Chain A
Amino acid sequence: MTRPNNLILRTTTSLIAFLLLGFSIYLFFAGHNAPGGGFIGGLMTTGAILLLYMSYGINTVTKMLPINYIKLIPIGLLVAVATGAGSFLFEVPFLSHSFGYFHFPLFGEVELATAMLFDLGVYLTVVGVMMTIILTVADDQ
């Protein structure tokens, strides 16, 4: 990638990227009750990271976020499968979900669902997949 003097881009990126990351995390958590979810959240996160890559270049971002995206794929899949298999412990069919309401300090009454764990798997996989594909393609000569 060429390095023109793109100060404006970098400044706005550092702002927007974190807004995007925040939004993606909001989407992920909101998924159960409002539009959003693991898939769209993952895509948004990818978008935020991509923006960083585009303005700062591969080397900088790799230092900043030393994540092996390829490993995210099996991790995400593992989380999803483990969530599903976890229902065996309670002698219910594969992928049976449960939910409950808990009181936390600071957050108050919060609904926690095992579906959220599954969604986390989706989230991680999507981030891993999208980043792998885009980085691989971009890296190719």
Chain B
Amino acid sequence: MPRYLDVQPPANGVQLVTLQRPDALNALCTALLAELAATLEAAAQDDQVAAVVITGNLKAFAAGADIAEMAERDLVGMLNDPRIAHWRTIAAFPKALVAAVNGYALGGGCELAMCADIIVAGSDARFGQPEINLGIMPGAGGTQRLLRAVGKPLAMQMVLTGEPISSQHALQAGLVSEVTQPEFTVERALHIARTIAAKAPLAVRLAKQALLQAGDTDLASGLRLERQAFTVLAGTADRDEGIRAFQEKRQPHFQGR
């Protein structure tokens, strides 16, 4: 039983995972991160789960790492930091991951949101990388994923000043895909996740891979990877079903094969 997470049973292919450390604004202590990594690992293996929605509460998605915990780690402690493996597991989740962000998404919280494929933000959400204020810097993707999402000028400004941006600004910059009334953030994220869950699982998986690789490779390699993935799908039963259902003007029934 996770202590810092509420994990709902999957419904319509979607699993809702809620961070629950309200007294610490959902600060990502190592135990929470470990629970989240384990939950996503289980979800990756669970045929009932096609997509996961991750959220916090109205006040905070996650307001950063656990500072007290970090203070106890010296150089050697950092080198042996168990968190690195947890972050890697979260980022490597092969199915669709949607973040529903209300309130603060700061530091590790912002980095966690950026591990998701899609971010839906409430109108009062705040995204920031305030690590610099503590004499440190982002250590879980904040200098990498942020740059890829919003471009260099804004990423530099956010990381070097530590000042957060509004959800409206995040929308303009391309960090989030949608801004909603805070009360509907989770509903919208669930709706998007359910939409994805109704598609052919293999197509979703390979499309996600291709998109993630797009940020890391040159165009020629990216196009080659895309074509390979595209070709692989030609061998699936779901592709035949998808095309046939389209021709016959009916809803497809995908099986993940």
A binds B: no
Question: Measuring CB to CB, which residues of chain A are less than 8 angstroms from any residue of chain B?
Answer: none
